[in-house]
Chain A
Amino acid sequence: MILERLKAIVSEQLGIDVSRVNEASRVKEDVGLDSLDVVEVLMSVEEEWGIIFDDDETVGIKTVGDVVALIEKKTK
């Protein structure tokens, strides 16, 4: 469920083909996001799930799966 909603956000916001957005996809290299894209997605994620990311929490984000895991952690 989280992955599906995340895919929708990335695709709608940035016009990216959903097929590029899978758990293992690296956010920068595979999905092709730059730093502005990533922050826009994270801000939409914050709005969508009603959460706020601390600086430290976003340090390790490499893949779409990392974002999904972070959302899961913050919405427990």
Chain B
Amino acid sequence: MILFFVRGEVDSDKLIKFCYASYRDIMYDARELPAQQVIVREEGEKPRFLSGDVHFNLSHSHGATVLAMSHAPIGVDIEKVRPVHRDKFPFIEAENDEDFFREWTRRESYVKFTGKGIAGIRGEIPPETHFEQFDVFDGYITSVCAEEQNVIAYEIDPSAIENSQM
């Protein structure tokens, strides 16, 4: 998988197209991938590529964006660590706010992986589910849910995306 991190808000479609172009360049077997992909946005479903060759998932939180891209289904969540009324969320056991967000992003990345609605955050996660977790941008936590695979991460400048010919 490749994780593309951006500090700031960017247009989703431009980001997806920019990251796909990079993904295709970087992944060794991407020569087999088409130059462009069609993004499908259907009600009740997470956005996806029509071809189904490549999977992606997007997440934003208060000034940061991450796009995860992989050959396999993937879910990602980024959250800015901030004060939370932890007692409102009894399904999450945490001793402090940072622990809370580690568990929160884990659960939310699973919800994104399965494509369920946000209320699924309260549900059970199968024990064999695989996660990766990262501290990014000084104060944000990111969790990714996907089958175990190599991870490459990049930070992209928002201006590179805005200026791209996508």
Are A55 and B117 touching (Cβ within 8 A)? Answer: yes
Interface size on A, residues (CB 8 A): 20
Alpha-carbon distance between A55 and B120 when the two chains are bound, in angstroms: 5
* Contact partners of A58 in chain B: CB under 8 A: 117-120
The CA-CA distance from A57 to B116 in the complex, in Å, is: 9
Q: Interface of chain B, helix or strand or loop or mixed?
A: mixed
Interface residues of A in 18-76 (CB under 8 A from B): 28-29, 32, 34-36, 38-40, 42-43, 53-61
Closest CB in chain B relative to A66 CB, distance in Å: 9
Q: For the complex, what is the distance from the CA of A39 to the CA of B117, rounded to whole Å? A: 10
Do the beta carbons of B119 and A53 come within 8 Å of each other? yes
B59, B84, B104, B116: the one contacting A55 at CB < 8 Å is B116
Interchain CB contact under 8 A, B80 and A55: no
Within B42-74, which residues are at the interface with A (CB < 8 Å)? 43-45, 59-62
CB distance from B44 to the nearest CB of A (A): 4
With contacts A59-B115, A59-B117 known, what are 13 further pairs, Cβ within 8 A?
A28-B60, A32-B62, A35-B59, A35-B79, A35-B118, A35-B121, A36-B84, A36-B104, A39-B118, A39-B119, A39-B121, A58-B120, A61-B117
9 contacts between A and B (CB under 8 A): A29-B12, A34-B60, A34-B61, A34-B79, A35-B77, A35-B104, A36-B79, A39-B119, A58-B119
A residues sitting closer than 8 Å to B (CB atoms) are: 28-29, 32, 34-36, 38-40, 42-43, 53-61
